[in-house]
Amino acid sequence: MLKRRIPYLFLLTALVAIPLYFLRDKMDSEEIRKKRYWIGKVTNKKQYPVVFGGDSRVFRGISPDHFEAEFDGYEAYNYAFWSNGYCHAYLEGLENKLDTASDVKVIVLGISPHSLTPNAARCAHYLWETGKKKEEVLQNLYFSRVEEFFVPYDLPELAGKLSGKSKPDNYRITYHTNGWVESSWIVPDTGYSARFYEDIFTENKVSDEVIGELLRFTARWTGMGIHVVGFRPPTAWSIWKLEQEKSGFNETAFVDRFKAAGGIWIPFSLRDYQTFDGNHLDRQSAMRLSADLAIRIRQQIPDLP
């Protein structure tokens, strides 16, 4: 039997790895799934009739499936990124994602005050993901499915699991290939974000230059026959208040300029949606917002096919 030690070694390893994969908490492989999701987002060459842009409030807050269900099935894609801003490169990226041959052409922009700041307009995450090397793309896109079987533990975590003292992860997350990150906390804490959101606008106020770039693209797109819709993603009231006081964002003035550039603004009430951390909608609210957005867009653009 032990003449063929090498195959036996790998067989025994598989006999441990496969059951362990199914017994483990899915959140153990969250890091791998997250990397695969982001690489998938930037390497997806398909174009869509409806494209969503923005930051984490959009990629957590908009479910394309629930949008499509109320939008006559026109395919939608969530192309938002972490702490994202409306920089030139990203706006071009949004345009490239749109299927301009479709009879429905809609770009939906989630406008958070932070997305209009100079820091956000560096588009650091977007540029980092789009600039990744081929090896990382291959690894995260294809090899990661095998890698999920072999997610490492760290010693304290392993000790906690073996002793039964570790608690399950509060954070539950599912990455969808349509760009939505379905998120929730088992125990929500809507005051969580406000604790570190205080400093986000220190020497980083909403910038007229960033707004100008966004509006130039808006005017360009509406001139090309593309419907450009804007909305402010709902948050907890504490975050909204913080943004009103510290960000330098004048929503009324922005909406006027946005409409003058040809955009369609859709307001949403904070009361109608819940967040899990103050900043990001939980899964139920995200699904509801997506459906509401589809219905409201149809009402605002009645001549859409």
Nearer to another protein, 16 or 101 (CB): 16
State in angstroms the smallest separation of the CB of 146 from another protein. 8
Residue 145 in contact with another protein, rule: CB under 8 A = no
Give the Cα separation of 276 and 296 in Å (integer).
Answer: 24
CA distances, 225 to each of 75, 145, 160, 254 (Å): 18, 41, 58, 22
What type of residue is 219? A
Residue 146 in contact with another protein, rule: CB under 8 A = yes
Nearer to another protein, 135 or 203 (CB): 135
First to last CA, the chain: 69
Residue 162 in contact with another protein, rule: CB under 8 A = no
Dihedral sign, CA of 261, 266, 269, 270?
A: negative
Residue 18 in contact with another protein, rule: CB under 8 A = no
Q: Which of 6, 23, 101, 187 binds another protein (CB under 8 A)?
A: 6
Nearer to another protein, 146 or 253 (CB): 146
Nearer to another protein, 4 or 46 (CB): 4
Residue 301: CA atoms inside 13 Å, Cβ hemisphere, count? 22
Q: Which of 18, 92, 150, 295 binds another protein (CB under 8 A)?
A: 150
Residue 156 in contact with another protein, rule: CB under 8 A = yes
Give the Cα separation of 265 and 236 in Å (integer).
Answer: 20
Residue 89 in contact with another protein, rule: CB under 8 A = no
Give the Cα separation of 48 and 100 in Å (integer).
Answer: 8
Residue 165 in contact with another protein, rule: CB under 8 A = no
Residue 138 in contact with another protein, rule: CB under 8 A = yes
Residue 13 in contact with another protein, rule: CB under 8 A = yes
Q: Which of 23, 155, 225, 271 binds another protein (CB under 8 A)?
A: 155
What angle (nearest 5°) sits at the alpha carbon of residue 139, between those of residues 133 and 145? 155
Task: Collect all residues with Cβ–Cβ distance below 8 Å to 199 and sequence separation of at least 6.
Answer: none
Residue 2 in contact with another protein, rule: CB under 8 A = yes
SS3 188: coil
- Counting beta carbons within 10 angstroms of the beta carbon of residue 28, is it exposed (0 to 12), middle (13 to 18) or buried (19 or more)? middle
Number of chain residues interacting with another protein (CB under 8 A): 25
| CA 297 remoteness from chain centre | 20
Q: Which stretch binds another protein (CB under 8 A): 140-148, 180-188, 214-222, 246-254?
A: 140-148
Residue 3 in contact with another protein, rule: CB under 8 A = yes
Q: Which stretch binds another protein (CB under 8 A): 132-140, 176-184, 206-214, 224-232?
A: 132-140
Residues lying near another protein in the complex (CB under 8 A): 2-6, 8-9, 12-13, 16-17, 135, 138-139, 143, 146-147, 150-156, 158
